[in-house]
Amino acid sequence: MAEVLVLAEHAGGTVKKVTTELLTAARRLGAPSVVWTGPGVEEARDRLAEFGAEKVYVADSADFASYVVAPKAELLASLVASASPAAVLIAGSAEGKEVAGRLAVKTGSGVLTDAVDVVAGEDGTVLVSHANFGGAVNAHARVKSGLAIITVRPNAVAPEAAAGAAVLEPVSFEASDAAKVARVVSREAAAKSARPDLQEAQIVVSGGRGTGSAEGFTVIEQLADAMGAAVGASRAVVDAGWYPHQFQVGQTGKTVSPQLYAAVGISGAIQHRAGMQTSKTIIAINKDAEAPIFEIADFGVVGDLFTVVPQLIEEIGKKKQL
Ligand SMILES: Cc1cc2nc3c(=O)[nH]c(=O)nc-3n(C[C@H](O)[C@H](O)[C@H](O)COP(=O)(O)OP(=O)(O)OC[C@H]3O[C@@H](n4cnc5c(N)ncnc54)[C@H](O)[C@@H]3O)c2cc1C
Mean pLDDT per 10-residue interval, the chain, length 322 residues:
95 92 97 97 97 98 95 98 97 95 97 95 90 78 95 93 98 95 89 85 97 98 97 98 96 92 97 92 98 96 98 93 77
Q: Letter for the amino acid at 243? A: Y
- Encode pLDDT of 179-229 as tens digits: 999 999 998 877 777 899 998 899 999 999 999 999 999 999 999 999 999
Which ligand 1 atom is nearest residue 209's CA?
Answer: 26
Mutate to test the pocket of ligand 1, among 219, 266, 312 (most ligand atoms within 8 A of CB): 266
Per-residue exposure over 278-306, b if at least 16 CB sit within 10 Å of its own CB, e if not: bbeebbbbbeeeebbbbebbeebbeeebe
Ligand 1: does its nearest atom lie under 6 Å from the Cβ of 253? Answer: yes
Q: What tens digit of pLDDT does each residue of 115-151 get? A: 999 999 888 889 999 987 656 688 999 999 999 999 9
Q: Give the atom of ligand 1 at the shortest distance from the alpha carbon of 234.
A: 11
Residues paired with 269 in a beta bridge: none
Predicted model pTM: 0.76
Is the shortest distance between the CB of 306 and ligand 1 below 6 Å? yes
Cα dist from 54 to 3, 126, 213, 260, 279, whole Å:
9, 20, 51, 33, 31
202, amino acid identity: Q
276-to-16, 182, 260, 286, 311 alpha-carbon distances in Å:
20, 32, 10, 17, 25
State how far the Cα of 187 lies from the Cα of 171, in Å rounded to an integer. 26
